[in-house]
Structure 1
Amino acid sequence: MFDMMKMMGKMKEVQAKIKEAQDSLVNIKATADAGGGMVNATVNGKKEVIKIDIDTLLLKPEDKEMLQDLIIAAINKANAEVEVLAKEHIKKATDGMLPNIPGLDLGGMF
């Protein structure tokens, strides 16, 4: 027989696990480079840029536009990498807690 109270308790447990996993995303980091390593960007699992490293050879006024492009490229690449890591982290944190319901995609929660 279907036990609604048991299911509600399970959902609260799942919500708590998801919240805990989301809060810990700040500890997941990905670093990516652009321009052959001349620009490096590090982002966390919340897609916050936490570090930019620029080769001093790029610090010339005439290279400003190229530097801007490389910074953007490095950040975008790092964000793509950390997104994969964050989804894996959330999946591991909630593994076995949610039933496999066709069409239920919780990926947007992260």
Structure 2
Amino acid sequence: MGMMGKLKETQAKIEETKKRLDFVLIDEQSRDGLLKVTLTANRTIKSIEINQELLEDKEQLEDYLILTLNNAITRASEINEVELAAVTKDGMPDIPGLDLFK
């Protein structure tokens, strides 16, 4: 297969992987379990569960949301990057001197 064909095949695999990552769910919760979030590996929020106790303190709830969502987004980003890098590395043509994935 020529280089252009290989690149097109890789692009198709990347798109398939992106679609599959819409179904990979990451669950994250605060240390005490009062807030739980679920998002996809493509960083789309699917659900947020808030314990009634947190609804009584707006500032505390905001802090919990920031920390928990940032942790979940970090995990989702790591999974996303690993999955897409694997597909990309596998599909890249072997060009001497061009080693992007060391």
Q: Please confirm whether the aligned pair reaches a TM-score higher than 0.5, indicating the same fold.
A: yes
Shorter-chain TM-score bucket reads: 0.7 to 0.9
TM-score of the aligned structures, taking structure 1 as reference length = 0.76
1:65 and 1:47 mapped to 2: Cα distance?
24
Q: Is the CA contact (8 Å cut-off) linking 1:28 and 1:85 kept in structure 2?
A: no
Deviation >3 Å, runs of 4+: 91-95
TM-score of the aligned structures, taking structure 2 as reference length = 0.81
- Structure 2 portions without partners, runs of 5+: none
Q: Which residue of 1 aligns with 2:69?
A: 75
Q: Does 1:64 align with 2:55?
A: no
- Structure 1 portions without partners, runs of 5+: 106-110
> How does 1:91-106 map onto structure 2 within 5 Å?
91-94=85-88, 96-99=90-93, 101-102=98-99, 104=100
SS of the equivalent of 2:33 reads: coil
1:59 Cα deviation after fit: 2.1
Question: How many residues end up aligned between the 2 structures?
Answer: 98
* Range that drifts further, 79-88 or 32-41: 32-41
> How does 1:1-110 map onto structure 2 within 5 Å?
6-60=2-56, 63-94=57-88, 96-99=90-93, 101-102=98-99, 104=100
1:90 Cα deviation after fit: 2.1
1:72 and 1:6 mapped to 2: Cα distance?
48
